[in-house]
């Protein structure tokens, strides 16, 4: 009898100490998009949700929590219970906002989140108006050095990736361009096509219609290699301007302190999700490329590089926000 009692006691102890996440997931999972519905982040979240639901056997719900340039939705997820049931669809502002606002934001992007999966990449193009005399980046740089402060470059707004790309270009080429911020990248390239500005950074999906109509001309792409849809457009490295290999990115993160077994299960499921031809086709339809490595480690490597890059660029370019 004493052996039976000892067995029952051991079984009870094992049940009491067994991790609650062993059966994860036991309820629906929420993916928070820190923007309004319809944008690229929202499209990507909805593209992965059905496949992730199928892999995990639970509903995956996309919830839009927009506001304050992604900060509202991001802060919400940072403060949620770290149990794997609330995730964040993060993108470039995730690494830019901390460098712009410092301790004025209500979360620490570096320590309050754990990476789950890298979802997609999209390179930035430097476009010029077709009538602009410079046909290459080298010629643009030479013109900017010859007449500092006379060439204008638009962006999607102060603190946006397109703004920081313009700042990075100036830092890397020791030039002074006139930055013209707009309320969105589309407005910037529309004015570029109309001749109101000389150049602008944006992604190809934003510029496709104007590019195909011949109203704007790409002179370099920020990807590590030329893109299949624009084989004649050189990379910045090929154009003689190194350290411009910056791409828009999207990733899935969870609150920090989410149990490792839960993160591992999510990561394994996302590996299968990202191999889905349906998901890849949906991402490609909005100009997003599948990364060669979609793992949590790949996302963390990207985050580390971006945190350091934008901190450096914003400091050296003296970009400040009140």
Which tokens hold the place of 119? 């979802």
- Identify the structural domains of the chain with CATH numbers, from first to last: 29-122+248-317 (3.40.190.150), 123-239 (3.40.190.10)
The Cα 264–Cα 248 span in angstroms is 25
3-class secondary structure, 76: helix
Q: Is the bond leading into 25 cis (omega within 30 degrees of zero)?
A: yes
Crossing angle of helices 185-194 and 204-212, rounded to 10°: 20
| Tokens, residue 273 | 């999700």
Tokens standing for 225? 């290699």
Helix (H/G/I), strand (E/B), else coil: 115: strand
- Beta-strand relationship, 113-128 and 199-203: antiparallel
pLDDT in the model for residue 99: 94
CA angle (258 as vertex; 257, 264 as ends), nearest 5: 130
pTM of the model: 0.89
**Tokens linked to 222:** 């920020």
Measured at the CA of 122, the angle between CA 47 and CA 243, to 5 degrees, comes to 150
pLDDT at 321: 75
For residue 161, which of 310, 316, 39 has the smallest C-alpha distance? 310
One pLDDT digit (tens) per residue for the chain, 322 residues? 444 444 444 444 444 434 555 789 999 999 999 999 988 999 999 999 999 999 999 999 999 999 999 999 999 999 999 999 999 999 999 999 999 998 899 999 999 999 999 999 999 999 999 999 999 999 999 999 999 999 999 999 999 999 999 999 999 999 999 999 999 999 999 999 999 999 999 999 899 999 999 999 999 999 999 999 999 999 999 999 999 999 999 999 999 999 999 999 999 999 999 999 999 999 998 889 999 999 999 999 999 999 999 999 999 999 987 6
Secondary structure (3-state) at 253: strand
Neighbours of 5 (CB within 10 A): 9
Burial zone of 16 (CB within 10 Å; 0-12 exposed, 13-18 middle, 19+ buried): exposed
pLDDT for the residue 17: 39
Cβ atoms of 105 and 75 closer than 8 Å: yes
Longest dimension (CA), the chain: 95
The pLDDT assigned to 19 comes to 55
Q: Please count the residues of the chain.
A: 322
| CA neighbor of 221 nearest in space, from 233, 208, 209 | 233
Q: How distant, in Å, are the alpha carbons of 91, 115, 130, 239 from that of 137?
A: 27, 36, 14, 6
């Amino acid at each position: 009898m004493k052996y039976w009692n000892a067995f029952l006691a051991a079984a009870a102890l094992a049940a009491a100490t067994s991790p609650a996440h062993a059966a994860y997931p036991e309820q629906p999972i929420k993916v928070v998009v820190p923007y309004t519905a319809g944008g690229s982040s929202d499209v990507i979240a909805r593209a992965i949700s059905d496949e992730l639901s199928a892999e995990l056997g639970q509903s995956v719900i996309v919830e839009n929590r927009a506001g304050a340039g992604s900060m509202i939705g991001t802060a919400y997820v940072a403060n949620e219970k770290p149990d794997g049931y609330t995730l964040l669809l993060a993108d470039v502002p995730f690494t830019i906002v901390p460098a712009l606002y410092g301790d004025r934001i209500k979360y620490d992007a570096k320590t309050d989140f754990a990476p789950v999966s890298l979802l997609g990449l999209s390179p930035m193009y430097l476009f010029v108006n077709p009538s602009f005399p410079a046909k290459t980046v080298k010629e643009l740089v030479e013109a900017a050095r010859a007449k500092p402060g006379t060439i204008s470059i638009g962006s999607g707004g102060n603190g946006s990736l397109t703004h920081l790309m313009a700042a990075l270009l100036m830092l890397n080429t020791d030039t002074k361009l006139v930055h013209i911020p707009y309320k969105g990248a589309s407005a910037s390239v529309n004015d570029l096509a109309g001749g109101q500005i000389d150049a602008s950074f944006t992604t190809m999906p934003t510029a496709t219609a104007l590019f195909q109509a011949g109203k704007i001309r790409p002179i370099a792409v920020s990807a590590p290699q030329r893109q299949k849809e624009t084989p004649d457009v050189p990379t910045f490295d090929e154009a003689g301007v190194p350290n411009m290999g910056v791409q828009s990115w999207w990733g899935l993160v969870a609150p920090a302190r989410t149990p490792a077994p839960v993160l591992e299960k999510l990561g394994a499921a996302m590996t299968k999700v990202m191999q889905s031809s349906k998901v890849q086709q949906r991402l490609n339809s909005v100009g997003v490329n599948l990364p060669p490595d979609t793992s949590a480690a790949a996302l963390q490597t990207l985050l580390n590089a971006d945190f350091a890059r934008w901190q450096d660029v914003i400091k050296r370019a003296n970009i400040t926000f009140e």
